[in-house]
Copies of this chain bind each other. A is one copy, B any other.
Amino acid sequence: MDKEKLKKTVVFRGMEDDELDAALAALGAAERKYAKDEVILHAGSTTDMMGLVLEGSVRIESNDIWGNRTILSHIAPGQVFAETYAIVENAALLVDAVANRESKVLMLGIGSAAILGHDASLWRLKLTANMLSISMQKNLMLSGRSFHTSPKSIRGRVMAYLSSVSLQTGSDEFDIPFDRQQLADYLNVERTALSKEIGKMKQDGMLTARKNHFNILKSGTSL
């Protein structure tokens, strides 16, 4: 495996060569090849290893008890999967990790023993900090999404979402990074229903919108 590439990944970022070597050894790093559609990690099992995609692509999918499949995400080279399950003890995977095509994956044993290992070497600190960064980033996205999709009505979701963007930009006029279809998917609603609701919100004087540019009119509602 290419060390220079590894040093650029989120996992090993900031490490020197010797640190990387030590880390790889301690984590029992093992490069594995998977054929297209081969299952890397099975839902229901536990793991103390996470995967770092080197080549190809891994998809995360769910197959519910009644046989319905949902594809949840795709993991690109340089990115990791199953890190949460590897670190949290006894957490059964809710999803399968499947090679989307012929792929190379670096499996890394980061079960909490590995992370906590009781010498305070620099590589261990860096690794842990990197994992923390990955996890928190994900966390932020997840809690945002959870917050934006918890209202039951479309209008509630749109308001929650636009409020967040407004807070982040510190302005009541901004562009959102989604087109209508993407916003609909993000909010778990149907596109045309979303268009209609945004139309109504315009009529109600809550906002103006043109494509992905929005302008919040605070006067509209609760005053």
Contact = CB atoms under 8 A, between A and B. Distances in A.
Interface string A165-187: 01110101000000000000000
Contact of A64 (B85, B136, B139, B159): B159
Interface residues of A, number: 68
A124 interface: yes
Interface stretch (A4-12, A33-41, A98-106, A215-223): A215-223
A1 interface: no
A216 B168 contact: no
A88 interface: yes
Contacts of A221: 66-67
Contact of A133 (B72, B87, B166, B222): B87
A84 interface: yes
A208 interface: no
Contact of A67 (B121, B145, B222): B222
Contact of A132 (B131, B150, B152): B131
Contacts of A72: 147
Nearest to A160: B64
Given A65-B172, A167-B92, A216-B65, A139 B128 contact: no
Given A65-B166, A122-B120, A125-B128, A146 B135 contact: no
Contact of A121 (B120, B135, B146, B218): B120
Contacts of A144: 94
A55 B206 CA distance: 41
A95 B164 CA distance: 9
A84 B143 contact: yes
B137 A136 contact: no
A83 B140 CA distance: 10
Contacts of A212: none
Contacts of A112: 129, 133
15 contacts: A62-B163, A65-B216, A65-B218, A66-B206, A67-B221, A68-B159, A68-B222, A88-B140, A115-B132, A116-B125, A120-B122, A135-B136, A149-B149, A149-B188, A152-B189
